[in-house]
Amino acid sequence: QAQLVESGGGLVQAGGSLRLSCAASGRTFSRYPMGWFRQAPGKEREFVAAINWSGDITYYADSVKGRFSISRGNAKNPVHLQMNSLKPEDTAVYYCAARTFTTRAATAPDEYDYWGQGTRVTVSS
């Protein structure tokens, strides 16, 4: 039973930073493309960042470019998301996800087949 579990969320003031991690169990995700998505109250789930199998190619939503950085980790924690210069509009539940059937990164939620349960990020003004 493969599983992803996000961690690192919490309450932070605007302008602060958080580093999200995604812990894997049941199988190795370290060489699968992975992504981060978020869902704010009353909003649809949206793409945040993605990284390919080797870590050489990354994608970011326009809203987080220059502030967030996605990176590969290891078998225990295959992906991280460094979040800097946080804004109140970044408040959401953040999900990590994996694609196990390809080496390419993707930006659409339906391209991912494994998901964590989310970690809550609240940015105060």
Number of C-alpha atoms within 13 angstroms, CB side, residue 65?
A: 6
3-state secondary structure of 40: coil
Instruction: Give 65's DSSP letter.
Output: T
Mean pLDDT taken over the chain: 96
Rounded to the nearest 5°, which phi and psi values hold at 27? -160, 170
Q: Is 6 exposed, middle or buried (0-12, 13-18, 19+ CB in 10 A)?
A: buried
> Which pLDDT tens digit goes with each residue over 112-121?
999 999 999 9
pLDDT, position 90: 98
Instruction: Report whether 46 contacts 61 (CB < 8 A).
Output: yes
